[in-house]
């Protein structure tokens, strides 16, 4: 029996986005709805079949499954579903079945499309605006392989500068790559020819290898446009070769980027790269909150956003290292500055402290301590001025414990793995997220490889790391509710960092240890674990989707706080979410909990 208009109006008035519609628009929409009574266990629609329209649950329950018949959501009263298929000629992209006696309200496709086209609140809720039209490609997130010229001009090291200049003029390009057997050896530009050959009055038969930049900076095809922009801005170069291993596969120049609009993240990188002190850098990093708002508002994926924001911290660190060396003189022995924590994983948001360390060449001696203490203090103090506040646990290069020769670092990791005490587990968790930022990278490469191999072979250590990864639990309560914080400043909120993102970060780290994966970024670890078979395809898909939803909810929360003039944090009140958002967020937490359970019960990592 259909609902009478008054009952339907009362119900819709308590459901978003209908509660945000003008009274006239809501009243006009009422006749379009039809009711559908279904018993438990009935199919509402199936994947690939035509959809009747948008479904809204009045009472009862519905399980939504993907094309592989894996349940992705359990919905209750006031939840909508089916909207994704209405953007694809009315063909379902999921399947849905009742889990109890259910009363559904069905809004036909034509009325649904009219609703989202005319009512901004509905368009925002159902996200029709982005789904309905293709997104314009953006430089920051475009893969380098879509930007590069695939047949760069090349020559052999013994070619003369005159022949190289003639070839550049004929091709009308500003650079030439020097290769041997397809491997990149160097690059020469018009500036090299004018500044070194002409200005230096060199003979025209001078080998190009004499004026080229040997072993130039390069990027892999998997890099993204922001990597090119940031490298160009920071290093003051206009040509970036693209290599697969050492094999030259393309080149990106400033000319290749002119069809794209420069992103604000690149502007911040450029401002920091040219800054003369930490105070000048701080004026640039103060713009990061607005960058976060912009990136979230334009619909970028969370891992792209955090990568762009982390790039700014990386640039600030390298600039401070350069300024420190200018003040202190060249380092007495090779060193490497590394980031750990969220910077190490390229997962910084609007709330980040600093976590870093120094690895020193084993030729280091006590007489060098004053230099590296001054360098570490200079950089850590500068980062603090820039807004990357001191680590509360003093996990920074300014702490002598985390400023040691490579041999000491090897002993650290060996000891943590051999005797996995609670402190060792905590330190290993942080230090397994190390990523080189500036200095001699080779100091870390052997250490990372050896440590991963040593850790993977020690089943007791891995078991302790798994146990440690279960300490942060998703905030799931009884009866499909959330377990919110019970007291204090953040009472009745969810901690989207420690109970949302961190459980997935911890799982990703364990997968990386088990499979000896060198990836540090959490999403990259999950994808690599899935590819390596450490994480099953279904478990991997579910966990990545769950992580994406949790991380994006966190960023959207921070962006909303910034727009409201508040300092961003990680504490979200469930009441601020719609029923639809709460339901899907809880489903994401359930996925994480299930993968934690699989790890804790020794079922491998197959989810």
DSSP 194: I
Question: Would you say 319 and 356 are in contact if contact means Cβ atoms under 8 Å apart?
Answer: no
Residue 204 neighbours by CB under 8 Å, 6+ apart: 160, 161, 162, 197
- Which helix H or strand E contains 281, and what residues bound it? helix 278-285
How many angstroms separate the CA atoms of 154 and 247, rounded? 12
Q: State the pLDDT confidence band at 431, using cuts at 50, 70 and 90.
A: confident
Residue 439 neighbours by CB under 8 Å, 6+ apart: 321, 334, 335, 336, 337, 359
Residues in the chain: 607
Task: List beta partners, residue 572.
Answer: 494
Question: Would you say 428 and 413 are in contact if contact means Cβ atoms under 8 Å apart?
Answer: yes
Task: List beta partners, residue 358.
Answer: 337, 403
Q: What is the pLDDT of residue 480?
A: 63
Residue 400, CA distances (Å) to 57, 366, 367, 393, 408 in order: 60, 12, 14, 13, 12
pLDDT digits (tens, 9 = 90+) for 24-61: 889 999 999 999 999 999 999 988 888 889 999 999 88
How far is C-alpha 570 from the chain's CA centre?
17
Task: List beta partners, residue 207.
Answer: 160
Domain ranges (residues) in the chain:
5-132, 139-257, 264-457, 466-600
pLDDT digits (tens, 9 = 90+) for 433-488: 999 999 999 999 888 888 888 888 888 898 888 888 888 999 988 656 798 999 99
Q: For the purposes of burial, counting CB atoms within 10 Å of the CB of 423, is it exposed (0-12), middle (13-18) or buried (19 or more)?
A: exposed
Residue 208 neighbours by CB under 8 Å, 6+ apart: 155, 157, 158, 159, 160, 161, 163, 164, 176, 178, 186, 188
Q: What is the pLDDT of residue 70?
A: 59
Q: Phi and psi of 52, rounded to 5°?
A: -75, -30
pLDDT digits (tens, 9 = 90+) for 241-284: 999 988 999 999 987 775 444 446 778 888 898 899 999 999 99
Averaged over 361-368, what is the pLDDT? 96
Q: What is the pLDDT of residue 607?
A: 40
Q: What is the pLDDT of residue 599?
A: 85
For CA atoms 19, 20, 22, 26, give the dihedral sign: negative
How many angstroms separate the CA atoms of 223 and 246, rounded? 15
pLDDT digits (tens, 9 = 90+) for 492-505: 999 999 999 999 99
How many angstroms separate the CA atoms of 204 and 193, rounded? 10
Q: How many CB atoms lie within 10 A of CB 500?
A: 27
The fold of the 139-257 domain, in CATH, is CBS-domain (3.10.580)
Of the candidates 471, 475, 473, the residue with the CA atom closest to the CA atom of residue 582: 475
Q: What is the pLDDT of residue 89?
A: 62
pLDDT of 128 over the 70 cut: no
Q: What is the CATH number of domain 5-132?
A: 2.60.120.10
Beta strands in 47-171 (DSSP E): 53-59, 62-65, 71-75, 80-81, 95-98, 102-108, 154-155
Percent of the chain at pLDDT above 90? 54
- Determine the angle formed by the axes of helices 579-600 and 459-469, rounding to 10 degrees: 160
Which pTM value belongs to this model? Answer: 0.67
Q: What is the pLDDT of residue 87?
A: 60
Residue 386 neighbours by CB under 8 Å, 6+ apart: 278, 281, 282, 285, 316
Q: What is the CATH number of domain 264-457?
A: 3.30.460.10
Q: What is the pLDDT of residue 179?
A: 97
pLDDT digits (tens, 9 = 90+) for 93-111: 788 999 889 999 999 988 9
Averaged over 171-177, what is the pLDDT? 93
How far is C-alpha 555 from the chain's CA centre?
11
Q: What is the pLDDT of residue 606?
A: 41
């Amino acid at each position: 029996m259909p609902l009478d208009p008054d009952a339907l109006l009362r119900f819709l008035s308590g459901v978003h986005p209908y509660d945000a519609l003008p009274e006239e628009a809501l009243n006009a929409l009422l006749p379009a709805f039809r009711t559908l009574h279904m018993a438990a266990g009935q199919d509402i629609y199936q994947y690939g079949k035509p959809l009747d329209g948008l479904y809204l649950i009045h009472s009862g329950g519905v399980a939504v499954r993907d094309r592989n018949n894996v349940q992705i959501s359990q919905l209750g009263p006031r939840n909508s579903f089916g909207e994704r298929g209405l953007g694809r000629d009315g063909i379902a992209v999921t399947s849905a079945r009742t889990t109890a006696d259910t009363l559904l309200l069905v809004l036909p496709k034509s009325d649904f499309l009219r609703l989202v086209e005319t009512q901004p609140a509905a368009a925002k809720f159902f996200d029709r605006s982005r789904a309905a039209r293709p997104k314009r490609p953006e430089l920051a997130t475009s893969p380098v392989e879509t930007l590069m010229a695939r047949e760069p001009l090349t020559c052999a090291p013994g070619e003369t500068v005159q022949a190289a200049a003639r070839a550049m003029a004929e091709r009308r390009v500003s650079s030439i790559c020097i290769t041997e057997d397809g491997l990149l050896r160097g690059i020469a530009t018009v500036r090299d020819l004018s500044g070194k050959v002409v200005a230096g009055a060199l003979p025209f038969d001078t080998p190009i290898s004499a004026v080229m930049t040997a072993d130039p900076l390069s990027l892999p095809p998997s890099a993204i446009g922001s990597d090119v922009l940031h490298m160009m801005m920071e290093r003051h170069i206009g040509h970036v070769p693209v290599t697969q291993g050492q094999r030259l596969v393309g080149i990106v120049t400033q000319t290749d980027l002119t069809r794209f609009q420069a992103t604000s993240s690149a502007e911040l990188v450029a401002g920091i790269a040219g800054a003369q002190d930490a105070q000048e850098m701080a004026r640039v990093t103060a713009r990061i909150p607005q960058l976060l708002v912009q990136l979230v508002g334009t619909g970028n994926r969370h891992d792209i956003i955090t990568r762009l924001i982390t790039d700014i911290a990386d640039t600030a660190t390298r600039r401070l290292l350069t300024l420190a060396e200018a003040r202190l003189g060249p380092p007495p022995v090779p060193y490497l500055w590394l980031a750990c924590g969220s910077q190490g994983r390229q997962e910084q948001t609007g709330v980040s402290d600093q976590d870093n360390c120094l690895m020193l060449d084993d030729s280091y001696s006590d007489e060098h301590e004053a230099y590296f203490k001054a360098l570490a203090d200079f950089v850590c103090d500068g980062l603090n001025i820039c807004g990357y506040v001191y680590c509360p646990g003093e996990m920074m290069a300014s702490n002598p414990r985390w400023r040691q020769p490579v041999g000491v670092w090897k002993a650290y990791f060996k000891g943590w793995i051999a005797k996995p005490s609670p402190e060792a587990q905590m330190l290993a968790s942080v230090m397994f997220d190390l990523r080189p930022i500036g200095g001699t990278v080779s100091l870390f490469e052997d250490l990372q490889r050896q440590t991963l191999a040593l850790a993977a072979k020690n089943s007791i250590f891995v078991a302790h790391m798994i146990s440690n990864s279960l300490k942060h639990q998703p905030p799931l309560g009884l009866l499909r509710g959330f377990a919110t914080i019970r007291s204090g400043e953040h009472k009745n909120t969810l901690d989207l960092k420690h109970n949302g993102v961190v459980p997935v970060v911890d799982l990703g780290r364990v997968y990386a240890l088990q499979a000896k994966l060198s990836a540090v970024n959490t999403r990259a670890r999950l994808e690599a674990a899935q590819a390596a078979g450490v994480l099953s395809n279904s478990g991997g898909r579910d966990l990545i989707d769950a992580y994406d939803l949790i991380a994006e909810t966190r960023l959207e929360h921070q962006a909303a706080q910034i727009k409201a003039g508040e300092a961003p944090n990680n504490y979200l009140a469930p009441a601020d979410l719609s029923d639809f958002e709460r339901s899907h967020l809880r489903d994401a937490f359930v996925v994480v909990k299930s993968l934690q359970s699989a790890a804790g019960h020794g079922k491998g990592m197959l989810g």
